[in-house]
Amino acid sequence: MKKHFSHHAPVLLDIDGKSLSKTDKKRLRHPLCGGVILFTRNWHSRQQLTELCQQIKDVREDLLICVDHEGGRVQRFKSDGFTHLPPMGDLGHAWMSAKGAKHLGDAALKAMDRATSMGYVMASELKACGVDFSFAPVLDLDHGHSSVIGNRAFHRDPQVVSALAKSFMQGMLQAGMANCGKHFPGHGFVTLDSHVDMPVDERALKSIASEDLMPYGWLGASLTSIMPAHVVYPKVDQMPAGFSSVWLQAVLREQLQFTGAIISDDLSMQGARVLGGQEVSFSQAAVKALNAGCDLLLICNQSVISKVAKSNPTLDVFLDELTQALLTHQWQANEESEHRRLALKGHDKGLDWGALMREPSYHRALQSC
């Protein structure tokens, strides 16, 4: 059977080491591969990271190079010049640090200015090394009992979260980077960690909409992408949000009128391994996510080769099965999804590291971090 692909490269995958292997390059050339997510294991130094990003672009210029680089405990590169940013919860605390109501506005504006500086520093340093995109900011509310979210969230109040997130995204935009609001419609209320479990949020839609969902409505014109949560909200749908057409189509696309990219959270997380009561393969989960409304698919840590193994074919099997699913019409390639992917790369390559170190706006922002 002759293979035919429409223009849609939904897969964002990982690589094992600090430079590209022949296997990596083969996977990156696959027509369904749309980008790479980097981890700490892919990092040694700024020069090495810059060379790795160039290697990736030499394979395919259109590939989206991504990283989880929020600040706090979720930051992959922390040395050799990279600024170790504080957790976003520090900004919420700064907002509320005012002594008396008459000083609250001043504290809020200072926190927003600091958020803009942090967004700019984060994005400009990444782009200086060739990284296109960071999965930030977190829009979850800090309800006080989620260990996986915690101080990754700006605050408990959706208005404070929205104002600080908008300021942070403004800084990212100044550096030429798109953004990703996560984890839609809200991961902060549940206790369980979707990396290792399947969290269930028993609240009704009205309750979620009145709090956790608010930032997505208020920031609709500013968000360029969102990442749905691997959380089940059974009073809305029995499927986790990232596999639910109710959440992604009826709520996000139709009700909130969101037009940006929808990027699945990691398909290897436990929260994506059992769907509708049935254990699923990575490719089966991918098909369900695409059919529910995801534009892009994130699959992490599946290239890693153990010390006792010579290879790890997991990603090759995944790409082959997803290809077969496309050819047998289990999902349809979507050119609009492809346009959304390409939009996340942006058109501004940013300053290289040397030029960034001479940039006055960078130093001003650095002082505010």
- The residues carrying an active-site annotation are 195, 265
The Cα 137–Cα 161 span in angstroms is: 10
Contact 231, 190 (CB under 8 A): yes
3 state SS of 233 = strand
**Residue written as token pair 């040395």:** 79
3 state SS of 116 = helix
The Cα 200–Cα 138 span in angstroms is: 19
Both structure tokens of 45 = 């130094």
The Cα 266–Cα 294 span in angstroms is: 12
How many CB atoms lie under 10 A from the CB of residue 206? 8
The Cα 355–Cα 23 span in angstroms is: 34
3 state SS of 130 = coil
Q: State how far the alpha carbon of 28 is from the alpha carbons of 76, 113, 294, in Å.
A: 22, 39, 20
Q: Can the peptide bond before residue 183 be classed as cis, meaning omega within 30 degrees of 0?
A: yes
Contact 97, 77 (CB under 8 A): no
The H or E element spanning position 47 is helix 46-59
The Cα 341–Cα 337 span in angstroms is: 6
- Check residue 280 and give left, alpha or beta (phi > 0: left; psi -120 to 50: alpha): beta
> What does the buried/exposed string (b/e) look like for 263-283 if buried means 16 or more CB atoms within 10 Å of the residue's CB?
bbbbbbbbbbeebeeeebebb
